[in-house]
Amino acid sequence: MPGKNTAIVARMYELFNVGDLDRVKSEVFAADLIWNLPGHNPLAGIKNGADEVIAFFGQLVKSGIHVDLIKIDDLGDDAVVEIHRGHGTAHGVSLDSTNCTVYNIRDGKIAEVQVFMGNQHAADAFFNAVYTLKPLPDRLAVE
């Protein structure tokens, strides 16, 4: 029987797969969520806060990537580990990778996430094919 923490992560997948990102944000994510996706592509890096993660999820949807949950289990009292398959094809580039993600749960919500990519090179090739960077200097943030 799944524990309460695995149910939280499973709920995120359920809502994501039906496109209900508003409920993902309100029901599942801590406001100060930190999400880390490794890689060298426009979607890689640390996302700070639920709003940034929801924007990231929106880009995943636009990319045409499909995410299938394979296995999920509790990891101690405040964490969940899951294995998922990310797959899709865009602009002639295919991605099919089995990945592992660790979720830290705080007060019944996902507070911190670390993704470990099974095929980082394929993920980078896929997302770099999907997303074109703006030319300089427009792609640089001015502080």
What pLDDT does 26 receive? 96
The predicted model gives 54-81 an average pLDDT of 94
What pLDDT does 75 receive? 93
Q: Residue 18 contacts by C-beta under 8 Å, 6 or more apart in sequence?
A: none
In angstroms, the CA 142 to CA 37 distance is 24
Are 28 and 110 within 8 A, CB to CB? yes
What digits encode the pLDDT tens for the residues 122-133? 999 999 999 988
The predicted model gives 61-89 an average pLDDT of 94
Q: How buried is residue 105: exposed, middle or buried, by Cβ count under 10 Å (0-12/13-18/19+)?
A: buried
Higher pLDDT, residue 19 or 120:
120
Show the domains of the chain with their CATH numbers: 4-130 (3.10.450.50)
Query: Binning pLDDT at 50, 70 and 90, where does residue 87 land?
Result: very high
Are 5 and 74 within 8 A, CB to CB? yes
> Does 8 score more than 90 pLDDT?
yes
State the Cα angle at 5 between 14 and 76, rounded to 5°. 140
> Does 1 score more than 80 pLDDT?
no
What region, left, alpha or beta, does residue 123 occupy, with left being phi > 0 and alpha being psi -120 to 50 degrees?
alpha
The predicted model gives 38-46 an average pLDDT of 96
What pLDDT does 5 receive? 96
CA torsion through residues 1, 32, 46, 90, sign? positive
